[in-house]
Amino acid sequence: MKKELKVSAIKDGTVIDHIPSNAAFKVAEILDLEKINKIISVATNLRSKTGKKGIIKVGGKILTKDEFDKIAVIAPEATVNIIHDYEVKEKIKVSLPDTLNKIVKCSNPSCITNNENVNTRFYVIKKDPLKVRCHYCERSMEKEEIQMI
Ligand SMILES: [Zn+2]
């Protein structure tokens, strides 16, 4: 019999599901996974009803609000499952807040946030496709131009 590669279940932690396949590594990048010493698995190109998806499992991790907001920017369809004792205790659909504080960089080189010690602040003016506007210089950015801090 062929042995299957089994992805271990996690006892406590977070499973981020329904990530677009091409965004799975971007989501992994913002999670600071290097600091975690429990099971981490990143899977992409898994079959799903709507095409392909990625899933990230992180043992022992509880997402911060900033991480939730960042995931909403990169993967607006994602669902976050909170795992406790091998069971899903809570399922949360990420959602974009109206304001993004310290989440994305301003693309305008002369913006005060790129020149002084000022935290970025963007207003979400359209959610799908994503469009945001800088509070300070009023530069608008669309999804393709958005860079995380
Ligand atoms: Zn700006």
Distance 51 CA to ligand 1 centre (A): 36
Q: Is the pLDDT of residue 100 over 50?
A: yes
Distance 140 CA to ligand 1 centre (A): 8
Distance 1 CA to ligand 1 centre (A): 59
Q: Which two tokens stand for residue 46?
A: 């898994």
CATH of the domain at 20: 3.30.70.140
Say whether both 31 and 87 belong to one domain: yes
Would you state the pLDDT for residue 35? 87
Q: How do residues 12-52 score in pLDDT, each as one tens digit?
A: 999 999 999 999 999 999 998 888 888 899 999 999 888 89
Say whether both 23 and 86 belong to one domain: yes
Would you state the pLDDT for residue 7? 54
pTM for the whole structure: 0.87
How many angstroms separate the CA atoms of 93 and 78, rounded?
6
Instruction: Please list, in sequence order, all residues whose beta carbon lies within 8 angstroms of the beta carbon of residue 43, skipping any fewer than 6 positions away.
Output: 7, 24, 54, 55, 56
Distance 105 CA to ligand 1 centre (A): 8
3-class secondary-structure state, position 40: strand
Distance 136 CA to ligand 1 centre (A): 5
Query: Which residues, chain by chain, have CB under 5 Å from ion ligand 1?
Result: 106, 108, 111, 134, 136-137, 139
How big, in percent rounded to 5, are the helix, strand and coil portions of the chain? 20, 40, 40
**What range defines the domain where residue 125 resides?**
99-145
Say whether both 139 and 71 belong to one domain: no
Distance 113 CA to ligand 1 centre (A): 6
Q: How do residues 43-84 score in pLDDT, each as one tens digit?
A: 999 998 888 999 999 999 999 999 999 999 999 999 999 999
Residue 3 lies in a domain: no
C-alpha triplet 16, 130, 143: angle, nearest 5°: 85
Q: How do residues 102-131 score in pLDDT, each as one tens digit?
A: 999 999 999 999 999 999 999 999 998 999
Would you state the pLDDT for residue 32? 84
CA dihedral of 73, 75, 77, 79, whole degrees rounded to 10: -100
CATH of the domain at 105: 2.30.30.20
Say whether both 72 and 106 belong to one domain: no
Query: 3 or 23, which is more confident?
Result: 23
Say whether both 29 and 87 belong to one domain: yes
